[in-house]
Amino acid sequence: MVRQTKDSNKNSMKLEVPLRMVETAFLASTASLIWFINFYFPLGPVLRIFFPVPIALVYLRWGKRAAWMAALTCGLLLSVLMGPVRSLLFVIPFAFMGVLLGSTWNRRVPWIVSITLGALLGTIGVFFRIWLMSVLTSEDLWIYVINQVTDFIEWVILKLGILVNPSVFWIQVGAIALIIFNNFIYLFTVHLAAWLLLDRLGNPIPRPPRWVQVIMDYE
């Protein structure tokens, strides 16, 4: 009886290894394909929501090591298809974000924690993108960002009728705050999509706050 149990465990482990490899490769290819399609045929924010989800699903199903392998596979595959620069723009932050979200969801942490950590990582990714493109183009793209934020702030001030001239320091603070806010909204949308999708795939993530569940039930 003991021998049969050991044999069955060995057989299940033999079946698990190729299944883990196949699913990891498939989900890594899915993440890469979503990025590839969105880069050349952008469909607005629809595909962008799912950038980190396949790698997070790998973490939920097979653990940390498989998730890092999926992130590495995405980087190598996109490097072949699109070049190393565009591959880096996916790996930082979206591949890392998939591992991070998979880790937090696997530990069942509240949404506010995983969204905050993901937003910080996404903000780092934005600054990495600005730095990388500035190096490649030999231009300081942060100045372009500041100019855009300045135009927006001046428009708001004009509409409100406030007679004030904001300093460069506060404009930069506003730009950073706007980047963090955009990433926070993005991560909330990713969580919402993953909650609706992964439940149906048998890998549920932590439940959202009560008010989100009430709104979704109402809808």
Percent of the chain predicted with pLDDT > 70? 90
Q: What is the pLDDT of residues 197-207, one digit of tens each?
A: 998 888 999 99
CA angle 207, 52, 205 (to 5 degrees): 15
Contact in structure between 78 and 33 (CB atoms under 8 Å): no
Determine the 3-state secondary structure of 43 from DSSP.
Answer: strand
Q: pLDDT value at position 46?
A: 85
d(CA 167, CA 174): 11
Contact in structure between 195 and 208 (CB atoms under 8 Å): yes
Contact in structure between 55 and 102 (CB atoms under 8 Å): yes
Question: At a CB cut-off of 8 Å and minimum separation 6, what does 75 contact?
Answer: 87, 88, 90, 91, 95
Q: pLDDT value at position 14?
A: 61
Residue found by looking up tokens 């974000």 in the block: 97
Q: What is the mean pLDDT of the chain?
A: 87
In 3D space, the residue among 134, 124, 175, 139 whose CA is nearest the CA of residue 167 turns out to be: 175
Question: At a CB cut-off of 8 Å and minimum separation 6, what does 82 contact?
Answer: 36, 39
Q: pLDDT value at position 2?
A: 45
pTM of the model: 0.87
Residue found by looking up tokens 């039930």 in the block: 217
Burial, 194: exposed, middle or buried (Cβ in 10 Å; 0-12, 13-18, 19+)? buried
Q: What is the pLDDT of residues 121-173, one digit of tens each?
A: 999 999 999 999 999 888 888 888 888 888 877 777 777 766 667 777 888 88
What are the contacts of 124-127 at 24+ separation with CB within 8 A? 124/92, 124/93, 125/92, 125/93, 125/94, 125/96, 125/97, 126/179, 126/183, 127/179
